[in-house]
Amino acid sequence: MSDALLFFRTFLANPFAIGSVIPSSKHLVADLLDGIDFTTARTVVEYGPGTGVFTDEILRRLAPDAKLLCIEIMDDFYNTLSARYDDPRLVLVHGSAADVERLLAEHGLGQADAVVSGLPFTSLPEEVRHAILGGTARALKPEGRFVMYQYSQFVMGHIKKYFAAIQTRFTMLNVPPAFSFYCDAPIVSAPTPEASPSRS
């Protein structure tokens, strides 16, 4: 089965967890990853690799002595990626991004230099979004960077609670066009879920 068909079938079965009908474009991949300094990054995390469009490019840019922890929740995506990659720098985990701190520790990795997210935050339940953003802020080094894309700026109100400095960029050449968010200065004293804005 092609990656495009696998992606579409998985979307039909799990629309809120996938959030898109096709994988991201190479333009969006480049725009988002250009926000990471791969010359210094030694521990990189990717959430929601799907069919691996970001994973391919992260591995292409990643230093030989660096590690990439990829966390994918869907069985079919995990199984496809697991069969595809044979790279000693890649640690592929079948699980949830909400467990990033535990997964980094279990694999002997310290705090991350960068986290790359393909998660559809807008359609995730509030408590999952809170757990992932809070866990990400704590999982990053103080100078670490979180990069993510979304199809709207809705998520800005949420990520501002976890990152003190955020820049955005718009990529037209993606279906649909997307915003990239480059988030610095993680705030580790995370708010309670009740204090977070509700979904709308």
Ligand X SMILES: C[S@@+](CC[C@H](N)C(=O)[O-])C[C@H]1O[C@@H](n2cnc3c(N)ncnc32)[C@H](O)[C@@H]1O
Q: Is 54 in the site for ligand X (CB under 6 A)?
A: yes
> What is the sign, positive or negative, of the torsion defined by CA atoms of 30, 7, 49, 92?
negative
Among 35, 43, 45, 47, indicate the residue that binds ligand X (CB under 6 A): 47
CA 176 to chain centroid: 18
Q: Is 162 in the site for ligand X (CB under 6 A)?
A: no
Q: Is 135 in the site for ligand X (CB under 6 A)?
A: no
Identify residues 180-199 at the interface with ligand X (CB under 6 A).
Answer: none
Nearest partner of 20 among 96, 94, 122, 170, judged by Cα: 122
Distance between CA atoms of 56 and 138, rounded to whole angstroms? Answer: 26
Q: Which stretch binds ligand X (CB under 6 A): 49-57, 83-91, 169-177, 190-198?
A: 49-57
Q: Is 6 in the site for ligand X (CB under 6 A)?
A: no
Among 36, 58, 74, 114, indicate the residue that binds ligand X (CB under 6 A): 74
User: Would you say 105 or 165 has its CB closer to ligand X?
Assistant: 105
HSE (CB half, 13 Å, CA atoms) of 150? 17
Q: Is 118 in the site for ligand X (CB under 6 A)?
A: yes
Q: In this structure, what token pair is assigned to residue 23?
A: 């994988």
Give the interface size with ligand X as a residue count (CB under 6 A): 23
Residue 117, Ramachandran bin (φ over 0: left; ψ between -120 and 50: alpha; else beta): beta
Residues that bind ligand X (CB under 6 A): 17-20, 23-24, 47-50, 53-54, 71-74, 77, 96-98, 118-120
